[in-house]
A and B are shown apart, each in its own frame.
Chain A
C-alpha cells in the first residue's frame, strides 16, 4: 500500500530538524488569555500582539461586544442553515446593508470567510473559455478560486502594469476577461498601482476584482481601501473583503454595482452549500463596520504607528519589505528560515508576537517576520516593540 502521506515527508523532516534545535514551534502558539486588541498572555507571558491584522482594534469595542451578546440572546448561537434556505436572519441583511452604506455600492453579499468570498466569486463569474489575469503574488484564496473554476489562468509579474497590459492584449477577441488584483499585498505590505492597472483593464474591456482585505477600515478617506485612496474605486467592478481583519470578527464579502449581481446568491456554490454566519457574528460585524466609517482619528494614529515602526526598524539596520511604509503591514526580511525562526522565538521571549511567514506563502522564497500594527497600539508600545526588536536582533546576530 502506498502511504498517501509520504508526499509530506520533506515538510515533516524540515519541521523535525528545525524543532530538534529546541526552538518553540512558530505554528503552534496558543493565546491563553487575550487582554485587549494589542496584548495577550502566551506561555504565561504578557505579550504585545504585532501580528494579528486587527488593524482598527475593534475586537474589544464595547458597542461591538454588546451587539454580539444581544444577538446571541435574541437569535441563538447559530443558524444551522444556508443563506438560501433557513440561514438568512435579519442580522445578515443588516450586515449587508452596513456594507452597502460603507462602500456606497448597490449590492453586498456576505460569505462565511474571506477565503470563501474569493473562492466563490472568482470560480463563479469566470467560466470556461473566459480568462482570469492575476498578479503572481496573489493570496492563496485567489489561486484556489481559479482552481475551483474552469477559466484560463494567466499570471503576470507582481505590480507590473506593462506585463498586465501585454497579457490583456493577447487574449482572444471576444473572450470574457476578469483581472484580479489586491489593494495591499499582505506578505510585504506593499500596495498596488491600482489607478494605472484599473485604467489598463478598462481600456481592454476587462472586469476588475480587487481584494481589499488588508486595507479596509484603514486606507482611503472613508476606509474603503487602496482603490478609494487612488481615486479609481468607481471603475472597480467587485471588491472582496473580510471581517477577520479591521472589522474584528470572521466572515467575508463582495460588494459591487453590477446590475445582475444578486443572481450570484443562487449560482455561487461556496455561498449556497455552507451554513451562514452565526447571528452574533453578523451583529458584531455590522456594528463594527458602522463605526469604522467614522474612524478617521484611528486611521491617522495607525499611520503614525506604521511610520514610526518602519523608520525605527530601518534605523536599527533591519531589511524591510518596502522602502517606505505603505500599509499597516511591515515585513522584516530574514536571511533564511532558521534565522527567522530564531528571531521569532527571541522576540516571543522578549514579549512580542509577530507572524513568521515562509515559503510557499511568501514571494521569492523569502522568510519574513511580518508585523501588522493596530490603531490601538500606543506610541509607547511602538517604542517598546522597537526595543524588543533591537534586543532580539542583537541576541540572534540579525543586526550588528
Chain B
C-alpha cells in the first residue's frame, strides 16, 4: 500500500470512529482545532494509525503534524 490515494482513504477510515462531531474531513482539517481531539484521543488515534500501517510515529514527528494532509505525507515517507 504505497499509493497516496490509498493511504488517504485509509487515514480517513481510521479517523471516522474518532470523528464524534461529524466534521467534514479534507487535507486541511486540523486534529486539535477542527476535530477538537484531546491528548488521550490523539494517543488512541495515533496508535490506530501505527497499527494500521505497521509504523511508528514518534512524539517528535507528531509535533510536526497538524492536519490530515501532513499526516498522509508523513505516512507515505514512513512506509517508503
Hey, which bits of chain A sit against chain B, CB under 8 A? 131, 136, 146, 152-157, 163, 166-167, 170-171, 360, 363-365
Measured between C-beta atoms, what is the minimum distance from B69 to chain A in Å? 23
Choose one: A157, A166, A167, A171; the contact of B43 (CB below 8 Å).
A157
Instruction: Give the complex CA separation of A122 and B39 in angstroms.
Output: 23
Instruction: Give the complex CA separation of A146 and B54 in angstroms.
Output: 24
Q: A152-B60, A154-B56 are in contact. List 20 more A-B contacts (CB 8 A).
A: A131-B58, A136-B43, A152-B56, A152-B58, A153-B59, A153-B60, A157-B43, A157-B44, A163-B47, A166-B50, A167-B50, A170-B50, A170-B54, A170-B55, A171-B56, A360-B39, A363-B40, A364-B40, A365-B38, A365-B40
Grouping DSSP codes into helix (H, G, I), strand (E, B) and loop, the B interface class, with mixed when no group exceeds half, is helix
Q: Is B55 in contact with A154, judged by CB distance below 8 angstroms?
A: no
**How many residues on the B side are at the interface (Cβ–Cβ under 8 A)?**
14
Q: How many A-B residue pairs have CB under 8 A?
A: 33
Find the A residue at minimum CB distance from B55. A170
Hey, which bits of chain B sit against chain A, CB under 8 A? 38-40, 43-44, 47, 50-51, 54-56, 58-60
Q: Is A155 in contact with B43, judged by CB distance below 8 angstroms?
A: yes
Closest 8 CB pairs of A and B: A153-B59, A152-B58, A170-B56, A154-B58, A364-B40, A153-B58, A136-B43, A154-B56
A and B contact pairs by CB, cutoff 8 A, 28 listed: A131-B58, A136-B43, A146-B59, A152-B58, A153-B58, A153-B59, A153-B60, A154-B56, A154-B58, A154-B59, A155-B43, A156-B47, A157-B43, A157-B44, A157-B47, A166-B50, A166-B51, A167-B50, A167-B56, A170-B50, A170-B54, A170-B55, A170-B56, A360-B39, A363-B40, A364-B40, A365-B38, A365-B40
Instruction: Give the complex CA separation of A155 and B57 in angstroms.
Output: 9
Instruction: Give the complex CA separation of A136 and B47 in angstroms.
Output: 12
Find the B residue at minimum CB distance from A147. B59
Instruction: Give the complex CA separation of A128 and B51 in angstroms.
Output: 25
Find the A residue at minimum CB distance from B38. A365
Find the B residue at minimum CB distance from A160. B47
Instruction: Give the complex CA separation of A363 and B38 in angstroms.
Output: 11
Instruction: Give the complex CA separation of A166 and B46 in angstroms.
Output: 13
Measured between C-beta atoms, what is the minimum distance from A175 to chain B in Å? 10
Instruction: Give the complex CA separation of A156 and B59 in angstroms.
Output: 11
Instruction: Give the complex CA separation of A280 and B39 in angstroms.
Output: 42
Measured between C-beta atoms, what is the minimum distance from A320 to chain B in Å? 20
Instruction: Give the complex CA separation of A215 and B56 in angstroms.
Output: 32
Instruction: Give the complex CA separation of A250 and B59 in angstroms.
Output: 32
Instruction: Give the complex CA separation of A363 and B51 in angstroms.
Output: 23
Which chain B residues lie closer than 8 Å to A364 at the CB level?
A: 40
Find the B residue at minimum CB distance from A365. B38
Instruction: Give the complex CA separation of A280 and B12 in angstroms.
Output: 60
Which chain A residues lie closer than 8 Å to B43 at the CB level?
A: 136, 155, 157
Measured between C-beta atoms, what is the minimum distance from B72 to chain A in Å? 19
Instruction: Give the complex CA separation of A155 and B55 in angstroms.
Output: 13
By CB atoms of chain A within 10 A, which of B44, B58, B60 has the most? B58
Which chain B residues lie closer than 8 Å to A155 at the CB level?
A: 43, 59
Find the A residue at minimum CB distance from B58. A152
Which chain B residues lie closer than 8 Å to A163 at the CB level?
A: 47
Which chain A residues lie closer than 8 Å to B51 at the CB level?
A: 166
Instruction: Give the complex CA separation of A387 and B59 in angstroms.
Output: 45
